[in-house]
């Protein structure tokens, strides 16, 4: 049985798993339409697996923003696997690619995908440039925690961007959680101080903190983030328990540059990749993992409140290659 078929069987039969798998399929539609259709064309063009086929496949993977290092590693593994399994027909290659991509992602997984939740108060600090969907993601994550029965408080730490406090406040009302805020232009560290005290007194389970996102290449913003980090740690030793960097998937390789800068300024523990449904270059997930060695913890797969999903490499790869399974099944039928 092929790897893709195994994944399909694994995700079938449980209503919740089927629902999230469907979200991945729908959310990766643009990437799949662009990427998989080209692979299908490649499979149709070459009936046998040879060096010309590998070279064109390598080019396609690079175009999908999978990342140079990951592509080189994948091509090496692929050549070996094709030889080992004696794969002759190009239609079988998609399943081998999908298996190898999951293996490559999980092999580098020395940090967990799950959030580092505490028994008492868990503090999650969000960082990222303006325009990546950070505040919206905070709102969706707050909704997710509420659905799990947790009490949540939000901290409006982006006191510089016009409308940022109001935007978070609006999300607070929408989700039904309290927002700790001060006037525009206030010291963000003072907001965090108030927020931790407030979250403790309310016996909240989770405090999610927004931060400023403009001028990510400026020293003053990075100093501000470090100061916020220090104040949180002083008020609650061990906090923040997560520092999540929001990146916009539609910016492709530019997201990697942003990640590198924020990683140097603060201890980023996980990536939240927003707008994955809006890009044809969904391979950026793999590039981020291999280049930065930071786990992708959540992905944005649509506009709805529950379209923010925990990242699952197997569902991601299945969403990327779902049509490859159809092709594989057609070939099997024809051979009967």
pTM of full prediction above 0.75: yes
The predicted structure's pLDDT at residue 288: 83
How much is the average pLDDT of 156-184? Answer: 95
Structural domain boundaries in the chain: 3-110+316-335, 122-312
Percent of the chain scored above 90 by pLDDT?
52
Topology at the third CATH level for domain 122-312: Rossmann fold (3.40.50)
pLDDT of residue 233: 96
Backbone φ and ψ for 297, nearest 5 degrees, come out as -95, -30
Q: Is 238 left (phi over 0), alpha (psi -120 to 50) or beta?
A: left
User: What average pLDDT score do residues 128-156 get?
Assistant: 95
Annotated binding site for GTP: 128-135, 210-214, 274-277
Measure the CA–CA gap between 109 and 103, rounded to whole angstroms.
10
- Residue numbering of the annotated binding site: 128-135, 210-214, 274-277
- Quick one: pLDDT band at residue 216, thresholds 50, 70, 90? very low
Mean pLDDT for the stretch of residues 124-139? 94
- Bridge-partner residues for 84, per DSSP? none
pLDDT at 282 over 90: no
Least confident range from 122-126, 149-153, 176-180, 313-317: namely 313-317
Secondary structure of 106-121 in the HEC alphabet? HHCCCCCCCCCCCCCC
Architecture of domain 3-110+316-335: Up-down Bundle (1.20)
Task: Pick the closest to residue 321 from 109, 103, 91 (CA basis).
Answer: 91
How far is 139 from 143, CA to CA, in rounded Å? 6
Q: Which residue has the tokens 């029965």?
A: 149
């Amino acid at each position: 049985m092929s790897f893709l078929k195994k994944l399909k069987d694994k995700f079938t039969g449980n209503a919740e798993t089927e629902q999230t798998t469907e979200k991945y399929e729908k959310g990766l539609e643009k990437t799949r339409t662009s990427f998989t259709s080209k692979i299908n064309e490649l499979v149709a063009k070459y009936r046998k697996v040879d060096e010309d086929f590998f070279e064109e496949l390598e080019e396609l993977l690079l175009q999908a923003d999978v990342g140079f290092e990951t592509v080189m590693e994948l091509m090496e593994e692929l050549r070996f696997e094709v030889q080992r399994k004696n794969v002759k027909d190009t239609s079988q290659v998609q399943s081998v690619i999908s298996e190898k991509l999951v293996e490559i992602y999980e092999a580098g997984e020395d940090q967990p995908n799950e959030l580092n939740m505490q028994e008492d108060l868990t503090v999650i600090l969000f960082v990222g440039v303006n325009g990546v969907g950070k505040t919206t993601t905070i709102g969706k994550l707050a909704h997710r925690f509420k659905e799990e029965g947790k009490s949540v408080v939000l901290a409006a730490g982006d006191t510089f961007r016009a409308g940022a406090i109001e935007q978070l406040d609006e999300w607070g009302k929408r989700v039904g959680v309290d927002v700790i805020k001060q006037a525009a232009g206030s010291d963000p560290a003072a907001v965090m101080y108030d927020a931790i005290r407030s979250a403790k007194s309310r016996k909240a389970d989770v405090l999610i903190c927004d931060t400023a996102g403009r001028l990510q290449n400026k020293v003053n913003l990075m100093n501000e983030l470090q100061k916020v980090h220090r104040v949180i740690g002083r008020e609650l030793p061990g906090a923040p328990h997560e520092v999540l960097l929001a990146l916009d998937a539609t910016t492709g390789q530019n997201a990697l540059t942003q990640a590198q800068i924020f990683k140097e300024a603060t201890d980023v523990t996980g990536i939240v990749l927003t707008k994955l449904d809006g890009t044809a270059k969904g391979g950026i997930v793999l590039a981020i993992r291999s280049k930065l060695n930071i786990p992708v913890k959540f992905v944005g797969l649509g506009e709805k409140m529950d379209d923010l999903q925990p990242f699952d490499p197997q569902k991601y790869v299945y969403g990327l290659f779902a049509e490859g399974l159809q092709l594989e099944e057609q070939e099997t039928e024809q051979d009967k």
